[in-house]
Amino acid sequence: MPTEAEPFTGQGPHPPVKPWWHRLVLIVSLVAGSLAGLAFALATPFLSLIALGALQGDQMPEPRPDLGALVVAGPADSTPAVPIATNDTVDFDRLLPGADTQHLLLTPQVRADLRHAAGAAWTQPDNTAVTVTLLEFESSQAAAEFSHSCIELQLANHDKVTIAGRDGPAMAFLEAEARAISAVEMADEVLIFVRAVSPADRLPDTVVAVESLLREQRDRL
């Protein structure tokens, strides 16, 4: 005899209950994955900085030797004199002579960007007074800006003379009243200033001497 049908509940057979340790493994896996993702997110910026630092380190120029050791020395028969720059201090009145108060506009610029300064000075037996000055800036761009300002200032006060530099024509100026020839040339972040004051009858030879000194100093850098 048929039995009475069981009431319909809308549910099938109950799935088997998984052991408790299955759920524990799932929880541990989720936590471990979250921690790994967090660690990667935190480490990525530091790894990027390390990689960037290594890349920039490859692009940094090699340290330049002591600037004072690179300045040309006067001839053996010359008499030492007071240089324009020494111990990173520059006498701007002597560096830019005849510029009146205009050089005061350049002083803050060079002091803000100047890293090192050195120089040499001597008087030769024929009474020619020579000064060599090196100004090392924080960057070649800063050196170029100061060089441009100096050239404009010199052009406003003196006659331009083209002389032979190591890599081509260099800028020089004739200071007629002072019977002087001054020249400036750029070597990366270093500016080279050479100035020679000579007797009037020695001026042509002085131009040649300034050319030679400029090339020699450029080679030492």
Cα Rg for the chain, rounded, in angstroms? 37
- pLDDT of 53 > 60? The answer is no
More confident residue, 12 or 194: 194
Bridging pattern class, strands 89-90 and 85-86: antiparallel
More confident residue, 208 or 108: 208
- pLDDT of 213 > 90? The answer is yes
Quick one: pLDDT at residue 23? 53
Quick one: pLDDT at residue 37? 54
- Report whether 185 contacts 125 (CB < 8 A): no
- Maximum C-alpha span of the chain: 146
> pLDDT (tens digit, 9 = 90+) per residue, 88-101?
999 988 887 765 55
- pLDDT of 57 > 50? The answer is no
- Report whether 94 contacts 86 (CB < 8 A): no
Residue in 152, 72, 69, 66 with CA at minimum distance from that of residue 109: 152
- Report whether 197 contacts 137 (CB < 8 A): no
Considering the four listed CATH numbers 3.40.1000, 1.20.58, 2.30.30, 3.40.50, the one that applies to the domain covering 67-220 is 3.40.1000
Q: Which residues pair with 162 in a beta bridge?
A: 171
- Tell me, what amino acid is at 80? P
Q: Count CB atoms within 10 A of the CB of residue 98.
A: 16
The average confidence (pLDDT) of the chain is 76
HSE, side-chain direction, 13 A CA sphere, residue 165 = 18
Q: How far apart are CA 133 and CA 76, in angstroms?
A: 19
> pLDDT (tens digit, 9 = 90+) per residue, 137-150?
999 999 998 888 88
- pLDDT of 174 > 70? The answer is yes
Query: What average pLDDT does the segment 144-158 reach?
Result: 85
Residue 139 has what DSSP assignment?
Answer: S
Q: Looking up tokens 């001839």, which residue turns up?
A: 75
Compute φ and ψ for 8, nearest 5 degrees.
-80, 125
Q: How far apart are CA 147 and CA 170, in angstroms?
A: 12
Q: Is 44 helix (H, G, I), strand (E, B) or coil?
A: helix
- pLDDT of 69 > 70? The answer is yes
Quick one: pLDDT at residue 31? 46
Quick one: pLDDT at residue 51? 47
What's the token pair of residue 60? Answer: 């940094």
- pLDDT of 56 > 50? The answer is no
